[in-house]
Amino acid sequence: MNFKNVTVAGSGVLGYQIAFQTAFHGFKVSVYDINDEVLAKAKAKFFELSECYKRDISATQEQLDNTFNNLSYYSNLAEAVQDADLVIEAVPEDVAIKTEFYKQLSQFSPAKTVFATNTSTLLPSQFSDLTGRPEKFLALHFANLIWVNNMAEIMGHDTTDKQVFEDLVQFAKAIGMVALPVYKEQPGLILNSMLVPYCVSALELWINEVSDPHTIDKTWMKSFGSPKGPFAILDIIGITTAYNIAKLHADVNPIMARIKERLENEFINQNKLGLPTGQGFYSYPNPAYESATFLKG
C-alpha cells in the first residue's frame, strides 16, 4: 500500500469524518466539495470534531495540530485530485449525482488513482464503467462516528484487482479501522444488510401496536446484554434516514407506507429527528436507555 495523498470528495456527515480520521493518521488529505461555502462549514466542523477526539480517544494537541496541517481544501475537482493516490467518494446517496461525479472524476484523475465509494446501499458495479479504471474501483464503507465506531467494510466488484482490494484493507487498518472484507457484491454490504431489516422489524412492531418503542428496546437489551435497542439505533442513524428509506419503498410495500406515515406525522413534521435535534424515540442528552433504572422494571 503506497498511498500518501488522499482526496475525500464530499464533506457532509460522513465525508468530513473520513477526511479528519485519515489526516489524523498522517495522510495528506484534500477535502473537496462543490463550493467554498460548504467547505467553510466543514472547516468549522473539524474544530468541533477535534474536541470529540480529545474527549473520546484522548487525542493530544500535537496530534490535532498535525491533523489540521495535513488538511487542505478545494472546490475545484481537477486541483483536488491532481496528485491523489486514493479518492474516497462521499457525495450524496443519489445515483444521478454519483454518476455525474464519476464521469468528471475519471477525466481529471491521474492513472494511478484508486477510487473508493462510501456508498451505503449502491453497488460499485453500477458505476465501474464510468471510472475509466474498473480494476481500481471498489467500496470502502465507514460507520457514522468513525473515530469510535471504527470499522470499514471493503467490497470490490467482479473486476476489482485483488491487490487493490488488499491495499484498501491495509489502508483501512492504517487509519485505525477494523477492516472487514466483503467477498461478494451485496447492496448494503454486511452492516446495512442486517441493520435495515432489524430496524424495520422493530418499527413494524411499533406501528402494529404490538408494543411501545422503549419496551421493544428493553426486550432486545435485556436478552442480549446489548447497550442499545433498535429505537436507540434509529435515533443515532437519524429519523430522516429511516424516513427516506421507508419513502423509497412506500409505493410497493404497504408496511413501509405505514411506517413512512407515522414517522412523518409524529417525528419529521415536529422536527424530532433523533440525536441530531435532541429528540426522537428518546430525549438527549442522557437518553433513558443509558439510565441505571431503564432495565430494572
Residues that bind ligand NAD (CB under 6 A): 9-15, 32-34, 38, 90-93, 97, 101, 118-120, 141-142, 144
Exposure of 241 by Cβ count < 10 A (0-12 exposed, 13-18 middle, 19+ buried)? middle
Taking the complex as a whole, the smallest distance from the CB of residue 10 to ligand NAD amounts, in Å, to: 3
Closest CB to ligand NAD among residues 228, 258: 228
Closest CB to ligand NAD among residues 66, 244: 244
Closest CB to ligand NAD among residues 66, 75: 75
Taking the complex as a whole, the smallest distance from the CB of residue 233 to ligand NAD amounts, in Å, to: 11
Taking the complex as a whole, the smallest distance from the CB of residue 208 to ligand NAD amounts, in Å, to: 27
253 backbone dihedrals φ, ψ, rounded to 5°? -130, 110
How many Å is the maximal CA-CA distance in the chain?
Answer: 62
Task: Find the residue with minimal CB distance to ligand NAD.
Answer: 12
Taking the complex as a whole, the smallest distance from the CB of residue 98 to ligand NAD amounts, in Å, to: 7
Taking the complex as a whole, the smallest distance from the CB of residue 122 to ligand NAD amounts, in Å, to: 7
Taking the complex as a whole, the smallest distance from the CB of residue 89 to ligand NAD amounts, in Å, to: 8
Taking the complex as a whole, the smallest distance from the CB of residue 54 to ligand NAD amounts, in Å, to: 23
Closest CB to ligand NAD among residues 38, 179: 38
Closest CB to ligand NAD among residues 117, 160: 117
| Strands 28-32 and 5-9, bridge-based pairing | parallel
Closest CB to ligand NAD among residues 12, 26: 12
Residue 270 one-letter amino acid: Q
* C-alpha radius of gyration, the chain, whole number: 20
Closest CB to ligand NAD among residues 9, 218: 9
